[in-house]
Each structure stands twice: as structure tokens, then as C-alpha cells.
Structure 1
């Protein structure tokens, strides 16, 4: 009996920022391969992602990354049902590399094409874990990364209600900026997490943003970042700056903002569980605080699925594919693509 009668095999490509990634996903829940070529070291000298460098690097490695993903999956292109690719949000140059490569594959191999929202991919990273069979809607999802901090209520596959978002910096962006202020290496998130282990989170009382009623589930991190900058300016030499205490105190304030808003939204919506996804979901303090404070199950992806990857894009694409969605070859990238 033909296995394809009972399963889907989707090749997914992700190039929204500075990771060139490809994966093959079976039935939306099984990772047959997952390959990521990171550019972190390449961008460290700039203290952040340099868009032109990122897109050039994608061009150089994307063919090899896709080839490796197919070999790891032990499949040929004739075994695939679809090619999925991130169409946004992200850096326009980076997105175009992945989109054009995916279109070329779709045409040359006679495969359907599906464009996927990058944020939806992060949401579906939880479907690639052992908890997938236990997921019951509605689920509250906090997507927290270098470019996004958003709360979504998910009432079904493809059904999202945006409850809150950052009004200024994303949480991950704030971590990176504070990391630079403290002289920590890029990316700032992991560096602050590590430094915080040696610091006192109560050493400094940095502000927790309290939003007005109409912004009840929205976030703001610009004031927190400014408070850290002012504190750092009081030290005339980096050698006397208490980096660990500053990192721990900043992290405590950022985590409190994320947890308090999420807890309030979970209680108000009757969510069956809270999912935390995106790069910042790897933060140990955030994981611990969410689990301790919320009254519903808190689920986070494994570390390999927190940061940008193509497996999550393939998982999201599966649920569109089985409902019959297909995209035409005039599909374009949308750098500011919205999920709702």
C-alpha cells in the first residue's frame, strides 16, 4: 500500500533572518530531518544581524542545507508532497532567498508550494514534541523572540486572536541591547541568562511596565532598557560594574512582565494550557517562573526548536496542506506579514 495515501512529507525552508534552515516533516508531527546553518558568529562582530551579510550567506549555503536535509530524511524529491517556505515576517533579502529557492524546487519537481507565516511556525513548534496528542483548544501562546513579543489565543488550527503585543522593543531585542550595555557577547539573551546565574535579581529594582486598561495584555520594554542604561552610566569603568547583578535584576524584571501578562490572559480566557515559543522561550528563568506561577500546564519546545528552524515551518504547513490550501508561483514575501 502506498504510504503517501496515509501521510504527508513536507520539505520546509526557513530563511527569515540569519539561520538557513531546511527540514522534512512527516504528518506535521514527526521530524525526519532538521538542518540549521547558523550565522551567529558571523554577525557577532556587528553586535546584531547585518541584513546584507545575512542574505548573501543564505545564497551561499541554502543548496547544501536543503541537500543535507533530504539525505538525513533518506528521501528523494519524488517522495515529497509539498515544498513549504517562510514568506514573512522577516528581513526582505533573507526571505527572498528562501522563497526563490522553494519556487525553483516546486517548478522543477512538480510539487505544490505553500507559504508559511514565521510566527505561526513558532506556534507549531509545540506540535513537534511528545505533548502534541494532549493539546486541547483553546491554547494561549506567548511568542517571544528577538523580533516579536505577542500573546495569541488559539481556538483551533489556523484560528488566532491577538490579545497583546509589545508597544516598543521585543523582549529578545531588549535582552540583546542590555547585553551590549553590560559588555556581554552577542546574542545577549543567552549571555544574560548565564550571567544571571551568578547575580542577585533583587540587587536593583528595575521598573515593571504597568499598562493602561486598553493595553491590558500589551508589553513594553523600552522603559526597562532605559533604566538599565542609566544605572550602567553611573559606573565609570566596566571593571567595577556589577555585571552579574545588573543582568539578574534586568532579567527578573523582564520575566515578571512576561509572566504577569500571560498569567492574567490565561485566567481571563480559560485557556487549557500556555505554550511559550520563540528564541526567548529558552531562557531558564522564564521557563521556571511560568511553571511556578500559572495554574494551567505550561509547555515549551526543546531548545533546538526554540530558535529559528525549518521543522516548525513544516509542522505549520502540514495543517494548511491537509485542508487543501495551495499557493501559486506568484506568491511573494511580506516582511511585515501579520498572523491575524
Structure 2
């Protein structure tokens, strides 16, 4: 097995939390059970995606509040919350509340930009201000300021029997250091570093050059280095990589066939940038833990990180996620130099 000067320090996973619209409670319960399993297996973190107007978790903060009461150690994150759907002040209150409930384990990841299918949802989302909404980095800066304790109001004191604060309550002092930006471009990496955030880089990056060949790992490596060059902590600034990783060590023949077919269907999109955003996707990694570890050790961006939040595939069954997570924790993680949390 190859070696590395930067053994894996934190192992996490990311799930979308799909559910049957006829039985949404069961899907949400499955997600909570997976997070509980992750804690028992020694994972350092569990992350949820947002899926608005889809059959996936639309309110990760609410689900993580529930998870905070069913776990004691594992860190809980969002990867990522698209701020175009959020009011920064209200979100700051929700995040601080869940962080307090979790004992300081929340790791909110965010991104900016217009909501997906904005022309179709703008009337419902912002009926009076759709044309005035600012979906730039200013939106995340407002969230940062509010979470970090800058005033939200110029009024404080007693009014009748009620006490008012100028800053978001509850205030959770450590939360401001656990905010992450999910970025796919050099501009995002630069902004996140300059504003002292942590950086989430996933299986999607934005192609910089107009013509190929396109090297996903090289582009992702450039993002990581740009972020750290701009961050006050330099090389020590936190970066987490989130590739889709599917170990098959204990998988049944049916599961292996399902996993390989899933990756094969998604492989064509990795050959060239996709859509007007010129998004380049990484191939899914499917195989034994030894095979996956060897591919990761050869990955230029993986060589620069010591934290990962491997993404679980979207459409598998609960028992598939149990097998994948178990193999990650018991075989792949140790092959990457990771040790499970006590």
C-alpha cells in the first residue's frame, strides 16, 4: 500500500437522504439511523445535502437538530446550504440553536448564487423582492458576521418584561470558526480563504481553461492551494475533499453489480465540462478498499488534505449504505492512515 506524509486525520460521509414521497418519515428515519451508525463506527463527521422541491432532505438543519439528540460525539454538517434560499439572520439563529443543542458539533457549509430553477420558484420564494435579492458573496458575508457576533440590531435592553439583544441569540462562540464554504472555482476558493472560512471541495469543479484535456485532480489541487494562499492560517487552513467513494470489500454480488452500473452510468459526464457553468465531474471510485486507497494516493488533490467527507451515492438502499459505511470505517479508512474516534 502506498504511503503519504499526510495520513487521513478526519473521515466523514455525506448523504442526500432520499425518501419515498408516500412515506417521507421512513426516509428521514433512515438518515438518522445512518448518522447513528456513523458515530458507532468511529466516523468523525456526517454531512447532509439540501434538496429543495425534491424527494430529499429539504431542511438539513432540522434533521441535524434531531441527530444531535441521538448522538454524542460525531460532528454534524451541511454540504452545502445554498444561501439563495435562506435569510441569513434567520439561518444564523437556527445554526446557533443546533450548535448549542449538539454541544458545539455543528459544521455548516454554505454556497452562494441564485436558487436552482429560480425563474420557476421566485414568485413563491421572494414574491416582493425577487429582482432585488443579492445572491453574491455579500449574502454569505452577512451570515458570517451574524454568526460571529456582529450586531443584527441597534436596540438592546428591557422593554416591558422582555430582554432584547443586539446580536443573534443564542450566541455560540466557536461556531464562527466552523463555517465552511463549498466552492468549485478559483474565485470561491480565494474568497473563502480571505474571509477565514474552511473549504469544502467536492466531486465537482469548474473547468478553468476553454479547451482540454481537463485534469480534475489538477484543477482541484489549484483550488486548495489558492484557498490556503489566501487564508490567515496558510497551510494549516482546513480543507475537506468530498469524492464519491464506494468500497466493495463486504458487498454481495448484487451490491457490486449495482455499484458498478451506477458508476458506469455517470462516467460519460467526467470526460468534458458540462453545461453553461462548465462543471467537470470526478469519476466515482468503486472497488476494494485497497484499490480505492491506491487511486486516492495517486490523486494530486487528495495528497494535500487530511480530511474527507466521502459522498454516498444518491439512489441506493439502506442496507447498501450500511455496507459501504462499514467498509469505509473498518477497511478503507485504516488503509488511508485513519484511526476511528474513541
Q: TM-score range by the shorter chain?
A: under 0.3
TM-score, normalization: structure 1?
Answer: 0.27
- Between 1 and 2, higher relative CO (CA 8 Å, sep ≥ 6) is seen in 1
Instruction: Give the number of the structure whose residues are more often helix, by fraction.
Output: 1
